[in-house]
Structure 1
């Protein structure tokens, strides 16, 4: 299997035993000594032993890092030193037989390789296949792409050997991880282990890492714009989950988390620009944020809601506002123009890789306006962080006072380079960390968090890996414009293809992220497939809408039927009550007439009936007689008004 990947996996296994990141290398060191029958090492010239390590384990250790490991081995009595010559202590070296561990790693590795090859055969176009060695190189290239996220503050940016892989292979590996993440625990654990091993290997690049260790309690952490945009959801679900995890750990460590007013303005301006661009429907290449909105299907209404809820969102996340200190103390003001130059040169160094860097003048002349504005804002923020520190040069994390956290390894690297020149020392704690380095500081001191954070990181990186590159986007737009000019598509279709998230997803899948695989013919095929898919989606949506409407109509009829039955039952109850009361009223009417007639007749026979009783009885009788005439002496004419009145009152009472 690939020696470098084996080494990374072994580093993680060693670290799991409870040793620190330097001791993790000792089994690899001892194994190399035994394999090469090394007797002595000249500490002043370790170049020969460097080559042995590279040959045995595929790790390109800088001399300073190798000397750090050798000195740790000396402390463990693996060497006896004499005049700068380290003599191997064979009595001490009892090689830990890690053949069983290596065998398990080898089996897992071969399983992953075969699964990737199977995935490629099923999803890649005919004729595209890769050997075991090529896939190993692709995995290394994926790891190496993220080296600077952790090693930005070290003298070297990578411990991994040079690794190159076609864009389509890196894309297929990321696609494979995304597709199998939930269903393949072996894959998840293996990739997590080599990711942790990669982080551990990067830490050895620091001449002295111990100053970075320590509690983050009361440390002021200032978050940059991309980190905030990730928290808001602009950069996709996985990046949001990773950012939330880092933020939660900062809060658990009782760090003070802030957002500067300058950053707030940049975030809100960024969102407003995205909103306006999406409203016009004509820009996927205008900014990274707009592209992320399109890829993640974030609509104008979503952005408007983000802007409306921004301050309450920050409050709910426990992020406080703060202002950049002013320039009143001239002694604390740095040379911002020099910092600007350092940043753009560092961007060139980090992003161009093996390509020859351009001169500062050429970089400035080709720098887009919106990139320059962004860097100028970064300069203002970093300058403010220096003033927060009030001129102190911290040599431990607890004394750092303020740190700016960015998602850009190039910005963090630039800040480190500038500070080394400014402070004329290399051991100071940087003012700017990457979010990945900060999360590494957290889990390296709390191993229980290592699995969780690194799983989030891998998946986030893989989702980013299947997004189309800026180069691919530009080529796609050029080919679309040609189709429009030839009359193959109209302007409406052109705009839709530029700004629809499905079209962008199909672009990535069809090209495998590789601009070289994307041609005019590919564009025409993509357009046809997209339009067919849209037609099919519209048909599916129409069926879904019709189904929903039918369901709603059925529910409406059922509801109406239920209401009708309820009304019928209430009417029946009101009717019964009305009948009872109307009958009672009728019987009272008859009773009064009978009593009044009885009193009238009794007054003619019996002289003892009082005059008052006679007057009352005759008056009531007269009234009842008049009432009877008016109702034609009909029982129904008396009962019916009473029944209707009672029904009405009863139903009104129930409605209330």
Structure 2
């Protein structure tokens, strides 16, 4: 077996027997970081040293070392990254440089040992895989071998969770080998969901893998010195889908990682904005959902994409048409609570900043098929606005690129950035980036600021993976509508088939996501699975839904909504108070510093304070100037930290008082 029993531990250390799973490599990387807390490059040196230890040549070859790292640890690093790691290994005395060649220092290399870390991670890895095997057997009647289960988990992480930073231009980081069953995405996602629901400690290992991947992405940042750099005069704009997520209109699993991203952006100095036409699109989606709830809108079978997700979220929350219309009217207010300002797109007065919108539109159309022409127009308008805000100038750092567009659409990023790089150098910062890539970059800047981010992102990806494809879902909805009209199924059966997450999961499970696998008998099979799950896990809840689902669910939803509203109001008030205090402090500091600067001039100005106070102010001004010159720390960044600190403190106080 390729990935089992990969090392044997003895008194002398580790003896290599084979290559380790890439999941183990990523988890080891995270543990190394926790133990050492050094810079990101140093974090990879143990992997390089482990390969050097078994090298048969005394001279280090970049291609050979690159191949060893890939074969042993499943990590694919570009040539320049390997060169960078060799240079760091040389500084660590693992290598010595003679006549422009690197030689291995055997005494130092042979004394290094990764064994203890790998053993602990390997134990956790095997526990997760064996648990996954048992889950496949019990829940899906699938007898997967250890290797099949492991390959399925690796492929799922590679395709659904582990995202590359924009600077890598979609180059693969991890090596995926072997084959997996066609329905592996659904099975893995449902397994992870089970771990999360049961608070299983094995979920911690998956978090380590996820964080290890984010740490690995640090190697692809062009300038390592800028990994921790804050944003400077950069405004970040958001697309329609991200705003729907952040506002909570598609559920908590989507909202939580989006809020984390917004908080990290604000803490690192970025200004948060969105274009007015984007807000108009969000409002149109929500108003459309309101019409659908009132029965005057589209057929439910015509809903798709985020309209469908939002509609089903409102249904499950027990929202009425008037409730949703109120949300549509308060969109801009709710965005302000998230610190997002709504602005118009820049005009075309500066002719030098006008770009080829027609060419951009054609480039996007070759990669993406839009259902609605207006959606393409809005995307082009947003991206073109970023070009104009930058003055059509190239920037080589994300942190000071003036403007950046964030989207959840990976295909849009790929298409638009390919068009961008036709006329710009590879090192230039593209106009747009995915929310996952930006989250990764921000997490690298402040890895301790969002300790639960990895878990939230894993859960959000699982939620998405458990959703059936749009064509399959529409075909399914048409069939159950027909069965309801023919009175083949009861109203209660229709509710279970239409509005429960178990039905969606069963649809993907039965069809394995294949549209052609759907047949007339599929609905009956799905209904049977849903009822079995209801009897097994949610017997009391389903009984309430069958007897008086409307009254009981609305009571529960109302209680949850009241609590969420209370916490949201308190958070908004705390942000408002803290923002006012920060602005007052900023104005006060500016006034004092201006007066002090005036007194530095040889003018005959009457003193408005005594000599000692003036001397203290001069010293403070000098200290501020020195700190700014040495560390780049600005008063605005300090005041923002104070604002965030005050906001958190006020929120805690108000929560305690209200409870």
Name the SS of the counterpart of 2:274 in structure 1.
strand
Distance 1:112 1:326 in 2: 55
Contact 1:388–1:401 (Cα < 8 Å) also in 2 = yes
Name the SS of the counterpart of 1:259 in structure 2.
strand
Give the match for residue 114 of structure 1: 130
Alignment map for 1:527-542 (pairs within 5 Å): 527=527, 536-537=543-544, 539-541=546-548
Alignment map for 1:479-628 (pairs within 5 Å): 479-480=479-480, 487=486, 489=488, 500-501=499-500, 504-505=503-504, 507-508=506-507, 510-511=509-510, 514-515=513-514, 518-527=518-527, 536-537=543-544, 539-541=546-548
Partner residue of 2:339 out of 313, 318, 322? 318
The structure-2 alpha-carbon separation of the partners of 1:212 and 1:100, relative to structure 1 and needing over 3 Å to count, comes to closer
Post-superposition offset of 1:72: 2.8
Partner residue of 2:171 out of 126, 136, 157? 157
| Larger CA Rg, structure 1 vs 2 | 1
Give the match for residue 304 of structure 2: 287
Partner residue of 2:275 out of 260, 271, 280? 260
Q: Residue 64 in 1 paired to residue 80 in 2?
A: yes
The structure-2 alpha-carbon separation of the partners of 1:147 and 1:206, relative to structure 1 and needing over 3 Å to count, comes to farther
Q: Residue 392 in 1 paired to residue 393 in 2?
A: yes
Distance 1:209 1:498 in 2: 52
Give the match for residue 48 of structure 2: 29
Name the SS of the counterpart of 2:172 in structure 1.
coil
The superposition leaves residues 406-428 of structure 1 with CA deviations (integer Å, 9 ceiling, x where unpaired) of: 222332333332322222x1222
Contact 2:27–2:212 (Cα < 8 Å) also in 1 = yes
Q: Which runs of 5+ in 1 are unaligned?
A: 348-366, 549-656
Post-superposition offset of 1:194: 0.4
Name the SS of the counterpart of 2:113 in structure 1.
coil
Post-superposition offset of 1:94: 4.5
Give the match for residue 96 of structure 2: 80
Partner residue of 1:328 out of 322, 334, 349? 349
The superposition leaves residues 448-500 of structure 1 with CA deviations (integer Å, 9 ceiling, x where unpaired) of: 13532112111211222222223532452465578689x57489999968853
Partner residue of 2:254 out of 239, 263, 267? 239
Give the match for residue 621 of structure 2: none
The superposition leaves residues 363-416 of structure 1 with CA deviations (integer Å, 9 ceiling, x where unpaired) of: xxxx3432x432331111011011112233222344211111222233233333
Alignment map for 1:329-348 (pairs within 5 Å): 329-345=350-366
Contact 1:444–1:450 (Cα < 8 Å) also in 2 = no
Alignment map for 1:612-651 (pairs within 5 Å): none
The structure-2 alpha-carbon separation of the partners of 1:391 and 1:88, relative to structure 1 and needing over 3 Å to count, comes to same
Alignment map for 1:473-484 (pairs within 5 Å): 473-477=473-477, 479-480=479-480
The superposition leaves residues 271-322 of structure 1 with CA deviations (integer Å, 9 ceiling, x where unpaired) of: 2333344535633464211331354335553532320221221122221111
Give the match for residue 561 of structure 2: none
The structure-2 alpha-carbon separation of the partners of 1:41 and 1:155, relative to structure 1 and needing over 3 Å to count, comes to farther
Contact 1:4–1:57 (Cα < 8 Å) also in 2 = yes
Q: Which runs of 5+ in 2 are unaligned?
A: 4-19, 535-540, 556-659
Contact 2:183–2:512 (Cα < 8 Å) also in 1 = yes
Give the match for residue 637 of structure 2: none
TM-score (norm 2): 0.71
Contact 1:64–1:207 (Cα < 8 Å) also in 2 = no
Distance 1:255 1:455 in 2: 24
Distance 2:228 2:429 in 1: 11
Post-superposition offset of 1:142: 1.9
Name the SS of the counterpart of 1:40 in structure 2.
coil
Give the match for residue 639 of structure 2: none
Worse overlay, 207-216 or 332-341: 207-216
Distance 2:509 2:311 in 1: 18
The structure-2 alpha-carbon separation of the partners of 1:333 and 1:84, relative to structure 1 and needing over 3 Å to count, comes to farther
Contact 2:234–2:271 (Cα < 8 Å) also in 1 = yes
Distance 2:256 2:113 in 1: 40
Post-superposition offset of 1:256: 1.4
Contact 2:506–2:529 (Cα < 8 Å) also in 1 = no
Corresponding pairs, count: 519
The structure-2 alpha-carbon separation of the partners of 1:153 and 1:343, relative to structure 1 and needing over 3 Å to count, comes to farther
Give the match for residue 429 of structure 2: 429
Alignment map for 1:381-420 (pairs within 5 Å): 381-420=382-421
Distance 2:530 2:258 in 1: 33
The structure-2 alpha-carbon separation of the partners of 1:346 and 1:215, relative to structure 1 and needing over 3 Å to count, comes to farther
Distance 1:341 1:477 in 2: 34
Post-superposition offset of 1:535: 9.2
Q: Residue 447 in 1 paired to residue 442 in 2?
A: no
The structure-2 alpha-carbon separation of the partners of 1:9 and 1:490, relative to structure 1 and needing over 3 Å to count, comes to closer
Give the match for residue 71 of structure 2: 55
Post-superposition offset of 1:517: 6.4
Q: Residue 143 in 1 paired to residue 157 in 2?
A: yes
The superposition leaves residues 591-650 of structure 1 with CA deviations (integer Å, 9 ceiling, x where unpaired) of: xxxxxxxxxxxxxxxxxxxxxxxxxxxxxxxxxxxxxxxxxxxxxxxxxxxxxxxxxxxx
Distance 2:446 2:545 in 1: 51
Contact 1:213–1:397 (Cα < 8 Å) also in 2 = no
Q: Residue 466 in 1 paired to residue 485 in 2?
A: no
Contact 2:250–2:306 (Cα < 8 Å) also in 1 = yes
Name the SS of the counterpart of 1:520 in structure 2.
coil
Q: Residue 171 in 1 paired to residue 186 in 2?
A: yes
Post-superposition offset of 1:36: 3.3
Give the match for residue 120 of structure 2: 104
Contact 2:276–2:345 (Cα < 8 Å) also in 1 = yes
Distance 2:204 2:286 in 1: 37
Distance 2:123 2:82 in 1: 29
Contact 2:511–2:517 (Cα < 8 Å) also in 1 = yes
Alignment map for 1:194-209 (pairs within 5 Å): 194-208=209-223
Q: Residue 220 in 1 paired to residue 227 in 2?
A: no
Give the match for residue 7 of structure 2: none
Name the SS of the counterpart of 2:460 in structure 1.
helix
Contact 2:49–2:109 (Cα < 8 Å) also in 1 = yes
Worse overlay, 454-463 or 301-310: 301-310
Name the SS of the counterpart of 1:290 in structure 2.
helix
Post-superposition offset of 1:61: 2.5
